[in-house]
Amino acid sequence: MDNVRTIVAALSHIESLTITSSFGEPITHLVLHPPRLDCVLELELRAVPFESAAEAIHFVCAFPSLRILIFNSVTWRTSRAAIIPAARLPPKLTTLQLMSGCNDFLRWMLHLHESSPANLPPLSSLTLAGVSKVETDAIYTLITALAGSLRVLAIDFEARSATSEQLNTNSAIVMMNMGGPETVPETQDFLKNLFSDGDLIPLPFQRFLAPIIARRRTPQIEKQYTDIGGGSPILHYTQLQGEGMAKLLDELHPETAPHKAYVAFRYVRPLTEQTAKQMKADGVKRAIAFTQYPQYSCSTTGSSLNEMFRRGSAGDAGDGVQWSVIDRWGTHPGFIEAVAQNIEAALAKFPASTRKDAVLLFSAHSLPMSVVNRGDPYILEVSASVSAVMDRLGHSNPFRLVWQSQVGPSAWMGMQTGEALKGLARLGKKEVVLVPIAFTSDHIETLYELDLEYAEEARELGMEVHRAESLNESPVFIRALADIAAQHLRDCSAGCTNATCGQQKTWFARGGRSPMAHNITVVSSPGKVLISGGYLVLDSKYSGTVVSTSSRFYTVVRGNSSTGANHIRVRSPQFLDATWEYTASATGATVNVEDSPTNASKNKFVHLALQSTLVVASEISGIASVNEILAQGLDIAIVGDNDFYSQREKLASLNLPRTLASLHKIPPFTSTGVPLSKVHKTGLGSSAALITSLVSALLLHFASIPATSLSSPASPGRLLAHNLAQYVHCLAQGKVGSGFDVAAAVFGSHIYTRFNPAVLHGLMNDEALRTQALHPILAPTNQAWDYAIHPFKLPPLTRLMLADVDAGSDTPSLVGKVLKWRTENPEEALALWTSIDKLNTRLAQTLLDISKLHDSDKENYTVAVKYIASLQPIQWGFANPLHSDILPVISKFYEAHQVSQAIRVHMRDMGERSGVPIEPREQTQLLDACVSLAGIIGGGVPGAGGYDAIWLLVCDPVDAAPDIPPSERVESVWSEYKDLDVSPLSVVESLAGGARVEELDAIPGLKEVTALA
């Protein structure tokens, strides 16, 4: 410190001062704690590293007599404008040269001018170098303000090579939010923009009233921002989240890398218009509008997207930009996990004795009832987020969803957070956790309303209150953002599809080294429901429509030295006595996997998957590479979501009714309490999903396919995983089946046409694994794999519902009898199958056409779904709605209903002719009771039929009020049905597609159930 004092003393007589970073610690201390130096007339800063723009401005203001100020290569870590409202440029400054940091300094100078024109000194010379072109408007405003004094002006815009920028910003991820004033002086402009937005706050004479309301409210809001530290940190956190997401995206989805995050705020800088212009300057050609509101609302999400639409239509973002949108993600597992972890951290602050009594108050920004009543989905989506978080927490605490930030005298969604606190106090509740469920970053609603207003109210009521942190810098949340974006990008992947190139890229990704055992590999695959094409899908002349389910199988592969070298342990923790040990040896040109004699039972599916995949891995990467990983030992854990197995006994043990709500109360991956051989399956294709997840995880773990293979729907790695899983599944079953179940596990929902069974005939014996090369036959380059996968999805605002009906059917025996009838009655069978095929094709096309109607006119489509949700299907054909624009939608839904009913008639006919209970009488009665309900599109018995399950497609309007949702009508019928034992499944159509790589921490319950003992 003596050195610093010496320097300061010397400065008291110096008129010209140059500071560089090379002066070291004494000057660093001087920069951070500047004395007031009236003698210095000329100041040049060279390569001085400030923490922020605010810090640099604070330093400059310590030299009030400056005439000349030069910024040369000055840097700061965070781009935050001044936080010192009273700061002014030296009043006698005449020459200003900004050779770096122009954009932030310009913003500050504009704030000074907007506060008072007298705040700007009489500059006669202004030099700006490296300024962004998007600041053109700011420069014009500044020059106009200096018109009376400015004599010399030099501007050097940032040089931007289109080629290099396009390489550096291949994909733009635009982080969209309302924003908040970063400094107190920005408050009035923020409020003016906010009250001018008719999407958010519709006002009469809006352009006239908005500035008036903003001026009146500014003093109060400025005080609030002053109280939380001088501004909103939302820009800081959004930038941090975006940068972290972009880095992860480069790894998760390299096909569209590099990725760059942009921030586009609705009401404050960087405004959407400015961001659009920056993107144009950067040469962006692919962009995702990623709204940072987890739950969709027309007032927030809609407003941000509308503004980007206006800017894009005006050409502000440039021509030829390929846009796509992520507009809601309120139940994404990563988001839910991040919120849950922050709640758990807040709960940990309470004493253990009272922790479980703490009430979780989920607080979200309220909406006017006028907005809610017009059908805005926000309330339902926030409720869904809360439900998912409570499921993740295992309903450990009492909870309530409440609403905050009401403005004005009109009715808003309640109850309000403050009223809820008073109510809890009256009930004697003393511990509360405030949870900001709809805010991802701290801003005024969390830092002022929750932390200062509501927390203080709670303490005055004698309550102990803690707030769950906002997601801010949460690595789990940032990973969730990356996962959401990667999943969105997966269908737009670019790049080479040559298998050799894929292997070469994997090699370079490893830095030219042999693959080492990854710490952990997690892959999931969905179950299936064949809604049309039963039996016909066995013949390649016909197709079937298969829907993948939200219930998935997960395989977790770990390197584990405790198992011993060349030792593989496979565990299925949901069953009793379900651990299998294997010894693997890879010598010469052969790989062999042997059962341990200590195994209590054999698992043919797992054993063949291990054997086959290691053979393929050795053929691709070499024996030495496989041995390198096997030498560390492997632990493999495999679990399936609860819906793969009947939960009747579990519900009974918990004294819960058989309802969807009850199923959500069962912990994930719950134990079945029985050996694998005794479990009651529900017909979702558990063996196919298991094999696909296991095979895919092993291929990735052994680096036999590129790490990005499952990010693209048709990558060579995914195709190889499909062919290998089909082979293992067929070999384990002892026959070459149609393969639609494996295809669903690999690709997700689609219209499927089977492969020619001859491609596998030479491999359908155990000896082939030891004597024949597998990869040449299973490689996607083998043209004998002639299956067809056509995209399919269920229409928007519809929902798949499934029920486990009884103890299941023996599918092989059913299929055998039908095929025998077909062989013995070829003409009769051909005529019937041709008719069924035409109906199956028509059903798939009709459902796809319905989706197109949604895409072309979402508003009328939404109205139509709500309308027919209140009518029985028989009434749809005679519908006479007030708005004729919805008739085409109603007509298509009625067509889907009629076709699905006709398929049932023909399938029953085939069952009667072949003597097979494809749709047994009991099932017919149950289905008829369901399909006659209002809002039910159709249904049937999935796959080969029998007694094991039924499926229904029901309307799922955003808001069914005043009627009850069709799904509730179905549940009512199921719960009261006496002739069959009906238990619902919680599955819906999978929105995550087919096989995919997962993060262990992102799947609720997976880490715990698969943990090593």
* Nearest alpha-carbon partner for 846 in 736, 938, 719: 938
Distance CA 130, CA 99 (A): 7
Q: Which residues contact 353 (CB under 8 A, 6 or more apart)?
A: none
The H or E element that residue 869 is part of is none
Length of the chain in terms of residues written: 1013
Of 332, 443, 750, 897, the active-site residue reads 332
Instruction: With beta carbons less than 8 A apart as the criterion, state whether 255 and 496 touch.
Output: no
Distance CA 454, CA 452 (A): 6
**No. of helices (H) and no. of strands (E), the chain:** 36, 29
Amino acid type, 404? Q
132-147 as b/e, with b when 16 or more CB fall inside 10 Å? bebbeebbebbeebbe
- Give the 3-state secondary structure of residue 383: helix
Distance CA 237, CA 934 (A): 47
**DSSP, residue by residue, 778-793:** HSTT-TT---EEEE--
Distance CA 153, CA 139 (A): 11
Pure H helices in 915-938: 921-931
Distance CA 451, CA 445 (A): 9
* Nearest alpha-carbon partner for 592 in 631, 566, 569: 566
Distance CA 42, CA 69 (A): 6
Of 282, 391, 442, 483, the active-site residue reads 483
Q: Which residue has the tokens 């002349």?
A: 541
CA 1000 from chain centre, in angstroms, equals 15
Instruction: With beta carbons less than 8 A apart as the criterion, state whether 685 and 741 touch.
Output: yes
Distance CA 688, CA 695 (A): 11
Pure H helices in 915-955: 921-931
**DSSP, residue by residue, 350-366:** S-TTTGGG-EEEEEEE-
CA 696 from chain centre, in angstroms, equals 22
Instruction: With beta carbons less than 8 A apart as the criterion, state whether 461 and 198 touch.
Output: no
- Give the 3-state secondary structure of residue 40: coil
The Cβ-side half-sphere exposure at 520, using a 13 Å CA radius, reads 14
Instruction: With beta carbons less than 8 A apart as the criterion, state whether 512 and 729 touch.
Output: no
Is residue 855 part of the annotated active site? The answer reads: no
**DSSP, residue by residue, 199-258:** TTS--TTHHHHHHHHHHHHHHHHHHHHHHTTSS--HHHHHHHHHHHHHHHHHHH-GGG-S
CB count, 10 Å around CB of 762? 10
Cα–Cα distance list, 349 to 341, 345, 427, 843 (Å) = 13, 7, 22, 56
- Give the 3-state secondary structure of residue 848: helix
**DSSP, residue by residue, 652-668:** HHTT--SSHHHHTTSPT
Instruction: With beta carbons less than 8 A apart as the criterion, state whether 548 and 541 touch.
Output: no
User: Which 8-state DSSP code applies to residue 441?
Assistant: S
Q: Is the backbone of residue 334 left (phi > 0), alpha (psi -120 to 50) or beta?
A: alpha
Is residue 282 part of the annotated active site? The answer reads: no
Distance CA 345, CA 808 (A): 45
Catalytic (active-site) positions:
332, 483
